[in-house]
Structure 1
Amino acid sequence: MERPELALHHLHAFLVLAEELHFAHAAERLGIAQPPLSQQIRRLELKVGHPLFVRGPGRVALTAAGRELLPAAQRALAEVADGLAAARRVGDGRAGRLRVGFAASLAPTLLPGLLSAFRADHPGVELDIREMTTAPQVAALQDRAIDVGLLREPPAEPGLAVAELFAERFVAVLPAGHPLAAGRRVAVAALADEPFVLLPRSCGPTVHDRIVGICRDAGFEPRVVQRAVEWPTVSALVAAGLGVSLAPEGVRRIRLRGVVHRRITPDTARSTVAAAWREGNPDPLLPRFLAAARTVRPSSEHAR
């Protein structure tokens, strides 16, 4: 189908003349002389192939063709105006869509405060929230499937920028009836003979290696009997008595009957929570989201 090449200022001139029905008044309203207005109307009539106005002394009237064109012209200019306003809002970072990946263990700590703060300041922005472990988040960032990730222990990857948000201690995750649960703290070395429930290394290599490193520093290699891809599942398996675990302290916020959390000694290791994004991402929403992430503190009294 042939697409008509219509200049927007011709449609605008047509609408003003259709409202004024007087060339001199329409020209004055448009801020142009009467001859250029007449030329614009003539060019539009040539595109249509029929007169749009009946010219008379002083005043004019719409023809049948003009009356048919009028609502379409009004809709076209209104849509263009709406589109320009929407584009400005997106360009200003006041509207648009941001795809956010997040680690499940951040759902009860960082995520609620961050999303509430960001939405309060950016009510016109659509947030597409996707739960992912660290490795899939990194892949999704590289594939442009998400715009920003909230993750633990982000690995160093070419093309990705990272900003640390906060760090957490590690805690021992124990079945409620475990003998070591009676104390306020647990020596890591006391876990040497315990079966462990851990994340697969493929889901979060750095945090996995950090936990294994804590055990090695205490003089043993953890005996892993079960793996789970999310911390809530790790906690559930511990509650079921399958083993113990070491986890970032934010896991305390996962309320699950049959599980207790205890500080460990030594407690020098920390789990880093960070935001990651593609270097050079021009989306104006990204720096606004990162600014919110840097100011929101996790909803855990134990995070530091």
Structure 2
Amino acid sequence: MEMRHLTSFIALAEELHFGRAAKRVGIVQPALSQHLRQLEEEVGVRLVERDKRRVALTPAGQAFLTHARRSLAEARRGAEAAQRAGRGLVGKLSIGCMGAVGMALLPAVLRTFRTTHPGVQLSMREMGSLEQFQALREGRLDVGLIRAPVEAVDYPVEVVTSSPLMMVVPAGHFLARMQDGVRLEQFAGEDFAVLSRRSEPRMYVQFEQLCLERGFQPRITYEVDQMHLMLELVASGLAVSTAPAFIRGVARPEVSLLPLVDPAMTVTAGLTWDPAAPPSPAREAFLATVREMGRSLSANLMTIRQYIGKAADI
């Protein structure tokens, strides 16, 4: 039973005239008569009574009309759903994000993406970079927002934006007013809260190395897996830390962000996914949105870069 047969039958049932029904569905009258004959053969009963004076539905035709309309409407809804899925307008996406990167990018990304793709269901988890790669391998993640660069991984890592590294101190810290910039060695002897070696081993080692280059061994008192826990420790006056200027828009009022100078440093945000995963228009649309928001964020951070001068990536 073909959809064109149902379309022709419904048009004939509503017009009760072969010529008008054929014109309505955009075919010639003999073709419509053939559709009706094939449909009646398929159903096994006569659906329409016709003679030279009138066209009328049989009782079987009346009963069939309701189901034909329902079937055609359902098929159209199915086609529309397939088209929406093909354009990335429906589906599910699992998003992983490293704390600072997610805090900076995700609010703007989600506002834009939800406006254009309201039918896509999103699930988000805060995860370290290495954990995100493991989740990609296991098929638990569609897109990852990580700190870049990352060595020796099997997935593409696309730079989205970069940000100056800032000192994060309690608002009441004696250096909190130093908006012209501070040096890392000014915090020698203080308690530091940092992202754990387990979740971000490269960042952990580089932070230690930077401190050693500035003449001191950092006193890492707290290791955390999530950025908001680090901010909580700083806000409580228990530690100081470093973070990208990404978090400037979401940092708590109880903390102060101070530019780091001598040396100035930047942190780069990256985007990763599994190119061997099944095609997903929703994923491609999300990736495009992240790229666009990354360009916008880079423009907003440009004034900070200019303010602290040339920075070296870490």
TM-score (norm. length: structure 1) = 0.81
- Partners in 2 of 1:246 and 1:237 — Cα distance? 12
**Cα deviations by residue, 1:140-162 (Å, 9 ceiling, x for unpaired):** 33333333222223524544222
Question: Match of 2:297, SS?
Answer: coil
User: CA distance change for structure 1 residues 239 and 26 in 2, over 3 Å: closer, same or farther?
Assistant: closer
User: CA distance change for structure 1 residues 80 and 224 in 2, over 3 Å: closer, same or farther?
Assistant: same
From 278, 301, 304, give the equivalent of 1:302: 304
- Partners in 2 of 1:291 and 1:247 — Cα distance? 21
Contact 2:170/2:235 (8 A) holds in 1: yes
- Partners in 2 of 1:264 and 1:295 — Cα distance? 23
**Is 1:88 aligned to 2:83, yes or no?**
yes
- Partners in 2 of 1:293 and 1:275 — Cα distance? 12
**Is 1:242 aligned to 2:238, yes or no?**
yes
- Partners in 1 of 2:62 and 2:151 — Cα distance? 64
- Partners in 1 of 2:71 and 2:103 — Cα distance? 47
Residue 290 of structure 1: how far off its partner (Å): 4.3
Question: Match of 1:224, SS?
Answer: strand
**Is 1:11 aligned to 2:6, yes or no?**
yes
- Partners in 1 of 2:259 and 2:57 — Cα distance? 83
**Is 1:289 aligned to 2:289, yes or no?**
yes
Name the amino acid aligned to 1:134.
Answer: G
Contact 1:53/1:62 (8 A) holds in 2: yes
Superposition RMSD on alpha carbons, in Å?
3.1
Number of matched residues? Answer: 298
**Is 1:215 aligned to 2:211, yes or no?**
yes
Alignment-derived partner of residue 58 in structure 2: 63
Residue 251 of structure 1: how far off its partner (Å): 3.3
- Partners in 1 of 2:221 and 2:108 — Cα distance? 35
- Partners in 1 of 2:48 and 2:109 — Cα distance? 58
Name the amino acid aligned to 1:79.
Answer: E
Residue 234 of structure 1: how far off its partner (Å): 0.8
- Partners in 2 of 1:226 and 1:13 — Cα distance? 73
Which segment drifts farther, 94-103 or 166-175? 94-103
- Partners in 1 of 2:53 and 2:91 — Cα distance? 49
- Partners in 1 of 2:113 and 2:281 — Cα distance? 14
**Is 1:110 aligned to 2:105, yes or no?**
yes
**Cα deviations by residue, 1:244-277 (Å, 9 ceiling, x for unpaired):** 2222223344443543332233233321112222
Matches within 5 A, 1:69-148: 69-93=64-88, 96-106=91-101, 108-120=103-115, 122-126=116-120, 128-135=122-129, 136-148=131-143
- Partners in 2 of 1:215 and 1:207 — Cα distance? 12
Name the amino acid aligned to 1:84.
Answer: A
- Partners in 1 of 2:199 and 2:215 — Cα distance? 25
Question: Match of 2:166, SS?
Answer: strand
Contact 2:105/2:294 (8 A) holds in 1: no
- Partners in 1 of 2:89 and 2:252 — Cα distance? 39
Residue 110 of structure 1: how far off its partner (Å): 2.6
**Is 1:206 aligned to 2:198, yes or no?**
no
Structure 1 alignment gaps of length 5 or more:
1-5
Residue 102 of structure 1: how far off its partner (Å): 2.9
Residue 236 of structure 1: how far off its partner (Å): 1.4
- Partners in 1 of 2:171 and 2:228 — Cα distance? 16
User: CA distance change for structure 1 residues 36 and 246 in 2, over 3 Å: closer, same or farther?
Assistant: closer
Name the amino acid aligned to 2:293.
Answer: A
User: CA distance change for structure 1 residues 165 and 267 in 2, over 3 Å: closer, same or farther?
Assistant: farther
Contact 2:93/2:142 (8 A) holds in 1: yes
- Partners in 1 of 2:227 and 2:290 — Cα distance? 25
Residue 215 of structure 1: how far off its partner (Å): 1.6
Question: Match of 1:202, SS?
Answer: coil
Structure 2 alignment gaps of length 5 or more:
307-314
Residue 34 of structure 1: how far off its partner (Å): 4.7
User: CA distance change for structure 1 residues 269 and 210 in 2, over 3 Å: closer, same or farther?
Assistant: farther
Question: Match of 2:217, SS?
Answer: coil
Contact 1:250/1:302 (8 A) holds in 2: no
Alignment-derived partner of residue 259 in structure 1: 255
- Partners in 2 of 1:260 and 1:168 — Cα distance? 17
Alignment-derived partner of residue 3 in structure 1: none
Alignment-derived partner of residue 53 in structure 1: 48
Alignment-derived partner of residue 146 in structure 2: 151
- Partners in 2 of 1:11 and 1:60 — Cα distance? 17
